[in-house]
Amino acid sequence: MMAVHETQGEEEFADEPTEGGVDEVEARVGLAYTLKQVKRDSTARMGFYIIAFITAIAAFVSIDYYLLDYAMAKAIPFLHHPERDPEVINTLLPPVGMENGLGSGTWEHPLGTDHRGRDILTRLIYGTRIAMTVGFMATAIGLVGGTLVGAVSGYYGGWVDDVLQRITDTIYAIPFLVLVIAFMSAFGRDISYAMVGVGIASIPVFNRLIRSRVVSIREEEYIEAAKAAGVKDRNIILRHVIPNSFAPVLVQATLQVGVSILIVAGLSFLGFGAQPPTPSWGQMLAASRNYMLPAPTFSIWPGIAILVTVVAFNLLGDGLQDALDPRINN
C-alpha cells in the first residue's frame, strides 16, 4: 500500500505551511488565535494595550469597592476616598501647576478637585468600574441575545425568521437612547437597568450581523456535509455556524463596548444611570457642566477618559477586522 502512496508525491500541496508544530491552535477562532493575530497588527495592539490597562484598573477598583470597602483607596498615598467629602474642603482646585480664581493646584490633588472638593484623579480611576462593567455587560447581553436570535432565525428561516426579524426591526426603529430611557423609566433609574437596557437595545445589532452570516453559511457545502454526516442541528449551529461568524462578531462586539460606554455616559449625564456619589465619568461630566467657567479642567478630565476608552475600543475593533479577515491568509 505504501508503494502506491509514494508515487503520489508529485501531487502538489497548496502553500507549504511555514509553521505547523504541535502547539498550533486547533481553530482559527477563539482566544488563543485572536491574541496571536492581534499581536501582529499595530493598531489592534495599541487598542488592546490601552484596554488592558483600563481593564486592569477597573478590576483593581472593583475589588476595592466590593470587597475592601475602599481600604486600598485610603492606603495608597495619592488616592483619596472616592465618594466621601474630604475633611478639608477645597472645591474646584485646578490641576497641579495651574491656577484659577479659587486657588492653585497642588500635588495633593494632581488633577484638581471637583465641586465638593473630592479628588478628581481618584474619581476618574474609580469611574473605570462603572464604565467597563457597563460596557462589557451591556455588550455581553446584546451579544448573547443577538447571537441566539440571529442564529435560530437565519438557520431555520421561514416564519420563525419572519417573526424574529419583525420584532428586531421594531426595536431597531426606536432611537437607541429613547429606548433605554423608556426602559429605565419603567424599571428604575439604577445603573444596572441602564446596563440591561443598553444590552437589549443592542440585540438587533448582533442579531442582524449573525443572521446575515448564518444565511450565507447555511448554503456552504460543509454544512450540507455535516448534515449528511448526521450532525445535529444544534451542533451544526454551535460548531460550524457560530465559529464562522466569530471574527465579524468579535469586531462588532469590540466596537459595541465603546458605543455602550458612550451611551451610558450620556445616560448618566442626563441623570439616568450611576447615581451620586458613585464615581462615574458621565455623572462627573454632568456635575462639571455648572462649573465650566470657574474650573474648565473639571469637565476636561472625564471627557478625556471617555474619549481614550472609546477610541481604544475602536482601534482594537478596526485592527481585529484586518487581523481576523479570513481572506488574508497569514
For another protein, the binding residues (CB under 8 A) are 1, 4-5, 8-15, 17, 20-22, 24, 26-29, 158, 220-222, 224-225, 227-232, 239-240, 243-244, 246, 326, 329
Indicate the Cα dihedral angle 288, 294, 295, 300, nearest 10°: 70
**Minimum separation from the CB atom of position 120 to another protein (A):** 46
CB of 27 to another protein, least distance (A): 5
Which letter, b or e, does each residue of 284-309 get, where b requires 16 or more Cβ atoms within 10 Å of its Cβ? bbbbbeebeeebebbbbbbeebbeeb
Phi, psi torsion values for 119, nearest 5 degrees: -70, 125
In terms of CB distance, is 4 or 173 closer to another protein? 4
Closer by beta carbon to another protein, 27 or else 186: 27
Of residues 197, 214, 196, the one with CA closest to residue 206 = 214
> In the complex with another protein, which residue's Cβ is closer, 63 or 238?
238
By C-beta, is 84 or 227 nearer to another protein? 227
Where are the alpha helices (H) located in 219-330, listed in sequence order? 221-228, 233-235, 242-269, 281-288, 296-323
Residue at 178: amino acid letter: V
Smallest separation, CB 23 to another protein (Å): 9
- The backbone region for 231, taken as left when phi is positive above 0, alpha when psi lies in -120 to 50, beta otherwise, is beta
Set of cell numbers at residue 258 = 465603546
Cell numbers 479628588 correspond to 119
Of residues 61, 83, 57, the one with CA closest to residue 72: 61
Nearest distance, CB of residue 229 and another protein, angstroms: 4
The helix (H) or strand (E) run that includes residue 100 is: strand 99-100
Q: Which amino acid is at 322?
A: D
Shortest reach from residue 325's CB to another protein, in Å: 12
What is the nearest approach in angstroms of another protein to the Cβ of residue 20? 5
Can you say whether the dihedral through the CA atoms of 256, 259, 260, 261 is positive or negative?
Answer: positive
Report the residue number, 22 or 186, with the smaller CB distance to another protein: 22
Measuring CA to CA, which residue among 330, 235, 279 is closest to residue 111?
Answer: 279
Nearer to another protein, 23 or 87 (CB): 23
The DSSP code for 83 is S
Cβ at position 31, least distance to another protein in Å: 14
Query: CB-wise, 31 or 173, nearer to another protein?
Result: 31
